[in-house]
Structure 1
């Protein structure tokens, strides 16, 4: 599972990446054409048939100039009375960085190479060399924070072009409501048992090795075209193949978010709910969970 689909802080972090070129004429920075945008969008209605809002699965980093806006999305945004996101203050990077380092730094940690399995030490050394890190550089860094740092190395695109940040900056229809906030989201990683933090680091190391062999545009195109089947396959691999990590990073959060969304539906007009696309797929995804609770959830894009 690529962390750019999981949450802003999982890839550390998120201006509009939408260009004004016609969708069919999009060209990636590598010179190859991109498909017309159709990222996944759902309409939500209550048991009485009244409109409650929309679900939009986002990606938290993109290359420059990728056009992801569509008329259906823009129409929904114009009708939305509030925007619901994971973290509202994405532009306050200094505050986010302070929170990260407050949680991430603990003195006298084991050497990072000693925390991973012997078969991954060569891959870890390659990642450290790629990032320009010295061998002892992570000795005061908790394992989850090292994993997030290395995840950035494999990221294609810039968090400045993240969809979440573009929506927050461009939303003029009402309040921006956050589901977690930076401290709460980072705290999820910080509270993982050390064994699960090591599993997270292992997954990031393995994904980094795969990313060097794969088409770097693959995840972006999968998201851009709304290919939920492929996104679900991504969700079932990597770090989210680990049951404990899946429960902590995806399932539990989705369950809490649905509870919060039901409260918001009761007191606020139509909502645009824009969170990482990883939270939208499968039986544990937000569309499925809302459907189980009696809401009508219809994919419209």
Structure 2
């Protein structure tokens, strides 16, 4: 989610990077004198769930593997970059992993504000019609235009997608990366970034301006059909929550978001293209003797370069522990 990277244009590219950008923007509020437009779909603030209710709903979500090599064990968690307030406590197996590891490793650490200086991004000139459509979506989401204006148009698109997710009770504050970073700090565990901000930007923003504009148009078409987008997001969340890896692997068949060869190439760039480096980084950290809890977006666990498969090639014994594999 990489949501998750689960969205075409908007749907595919909500990576950790986009989630953190979105989290900052979601803190904006309208001035008291500024009423939203009548047609606005303003995302409601999500109230924290009382601790007793959180505890009543504690369970393991997503997918968890053990990674054994070099005489010790690490863990791999298929994460979701958005979540619900009721998910504010780890499930039993995830908690046990947190209690046993030396460090938590994430794509990027969303709580490390020192690492979030956004590097320059390539300019993407867009025509007046595309700009007008972006601005219309910002108004409908009650996001101030000035908060988006300096961002690359595809980053604006990701932020607007997050506003749609909020309408389903989903928020970046309760995504697995934010929660894991918080839980690690509570245990005084180091949080390690597997990637760099510049590296994610390079993977997520096409160098070819025509490709970038194609993704922008595709994403805007989805945003302009909010009911369809929300259905897909809800379906994705329920698929992840029950740990249905087989269905995630068939993502292209049901997301209605990979329509042509250009969409497939973009998905491969944003997902498969990053997996070998992620596997190398995990392998090196584990080789240094650290037991890790690694969390990476769930779509990275699927496809011809699925992260568990690449880690097996690196010599790990990879065993799924949640949900229990079907016999």
TM-score relative to the length of structure 2? 0.70
> Equivalent residues in 2 for 1:10-21 (5 A)?
10-11=18-19, 12-13=21-22, 20-21=51-52
Identify the residue that residue 250 of structure 2 maps to in structure 1.
Answer: 233
- The structural deviation recorded for 1:292 is 3.0
| 1:208 is the counterpart of 2:207 | no
Is 1:155 matched with 2:170? Answer: no
> Could you tell me how far apart the structure 2 residues matched to 1:226 and 1:243 are?
24
Task: Specify whether residues 138 and 270 from structure 1 end up closer, same or farther in structure 2 by C-alpha distance, changes over 3 A only.
Answer: closer
Shift of 1:99: 0.8
What is the aligned partner in structure 2 of residue 32 from structure 1?
A: none
Question: Is the 8 Å Cα contact of residues 196 and 244 (structure 1) preserved in structure 2?
Answer: no
Partner of 1:90: 111
Deviation at 1:103, TM superposition (A): 2.5
The structural deviation recorded for 1:137 is 10
Measure the CA separation in 1 of the matches of 2:81 and 2:290.
26
In the alignment, what sits opposite 1:224? 241
Tell me which residue corresponds to 1:118: none
1:24 and 1:222 map into 2 onto residues whose CA distance is: 22
CA-based RMSD of the aligned residues comes to 3.5
What are structure 1's unaligned runs of at least 5 residues?
A: 27-34, 116-120
Distance 1:232 1:211 in 2: 24
- Runs ≥4 in structure 1, deviation > 6 angstroms? 133-140
Give the Cα separation in 2 of the matches to 1:23 and 1:64: 8
Distance 1:277 1:228 in 2: 8
Alignment of 1:63-212 (within 5 A): 63-66=84-87, 69-92=90-113, 96=116, 98-99=117-118, 102-103=120-121, 106=123, 109-111=125-127, 113-114=129-130, 127-131=137-141, 142-156=152-166, 157-171=170-184, 172=187, 174-209=189-224, 211-212=226-227
C-alpha contact (below 8 Å) 1:232/1:281 kept by paired residues: yes
Q: Pick closer, same or farther for the CA change 1:225–1:153 going to 2, 3 Å.
A: same
Deviations 1:231-288 (A, max 9, x none): 2233565269623212321111111111112211210322111111121123322112
Calculate the TM-score normalised by the size of structure 1. Answer: 0.76
- Are the equivalent residues in 2 in contact too, given 1:88–1:181 (CA < 8 A)? no
Q: Aligned pair in 2 of structure 1 residues 262, 25: CA closer, same or farther (>3 Å)?
A: closer
User: How many pairs were matched up?
Assistant: 277
Structure 2: tracts of 5 or more residues without a match: 6-14, 24-47, 323-327
- When residues 80 and 131 of structure 1 are mapped into structure 2, their CA distance, relative to the original with a 3 A threshold, is same
1:114: how far off? 4.8
Q: 1:59–1:276: 8 Å Cα contact kept in structure 2?
A: yes
Partners of 1:139 and 1:175 lie apart in 2 by 35
Offset of residue 130 of structure 1: 1.8
Aligned counterparts of 2:145 and 2:129: Cα–Cα separation in 1: 8
